[in-house]
């Protein structure tokens, strides 16, 4: 699929089938996160794959949004590996790096026929308490991933976009 088609076709899937995600497809999605560019190539992004019924239930209890996906990825960053906030920009580069990884995973998943949705409404502290394996990782997103259920479709306003002229300013 051409990128221009992919970017328009991808949508936030909120209705998943129970069909499992093949390990080789999951590997490609995870590789997209590994290859994501990061500040100073520090690679602070971390991905936790929740696939057992127990792990999915524990993670689901930490989130406000529940979509019943057969697979859930928690994406975050290791603060000690992230490029520190600078006085120049004040940004948290670890969070930005992890967000770039999430974006690449969502696009790779879409190319493979999988659906995702970015979930930011969750309790990071509760997630870390439920999964001590996360250590010092700071989670920024949950990424439900799987195949669309029958009848799944983009949100009503998916194709409604402001004109480019409203979004872009040439200086």
Residue 17 makes CB contacts below 8 A (sequence gap 6+) with 70, 146, 147, 148, 149, 150
Q: Distance between CA 136 and CA 99 in Å, rounded?
A: 17
Label residue 65 exposed, middle or buried (CB < 10 Å: 0-12, 13-18, 19+). middle
pLDDT tens digits along 63-119: 998 899 999 999 999 998 887 665 666 667 899 999 999 999 999 999 999 999 999
CATH of 3-167, one of 3.30.390.30, 3.40.50.11260, 3.40.109.10, 3.40.50.300: 3.40.109.10
pTM of the model as a whole: 0.90
Residue 16's pLDDT band (cuts 50, 70, 90): very high
Residue 156's pLDDT band (cuts 50, 70, 90): confident
* Interior/surface letters 18-42, b for 16+ CB within 10 angstroms, e for the rest: eeebeeebbebbbebbeebebbeeb
Per-domain boundaries in the chain: 3-167
- Give me the chain's average pLDDT, please: 92
Task: Name the least confident of 31-45, 72-86, 102-116, 133-147.
Answer: 72-86
């Amino acid at each position: 699929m051409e990128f221009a088609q992919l970017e328009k076709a991808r949508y936030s899937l909120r209705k998943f089938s129970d069909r499992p995600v093949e390990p080789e497809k999951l590997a490609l999605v995870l590789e997209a996160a590994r290859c994501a560019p990061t500040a100073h190539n520090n690679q602070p992004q971390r991905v936790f794959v929740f696939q057992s019924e127990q792990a999915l239930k524990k993670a689901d209890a930490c989130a406000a949004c529940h979509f019943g996906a057969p697979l859930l990825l928690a994406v975050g960053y290791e603060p000690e590996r992230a490029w520190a906030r600078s006085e120049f920009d004040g940004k948290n580069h670890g969070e930005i790096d992890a967000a770039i990884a999430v974006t690449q995973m969502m696009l790779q998943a879409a190319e493979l026929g999988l659906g995702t949705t970015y979930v930011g409404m969750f309790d990071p502290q509760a997630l870390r308490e439920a999964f001590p394996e996360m250590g010092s990782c700071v989670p920024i997103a949950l990424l439900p991933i799987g195949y669309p259920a029958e009848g799944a479709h983009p949100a009503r306003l998916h194709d409604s976009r402001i004109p480019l002229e409203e979004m872009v300013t040439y200086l």
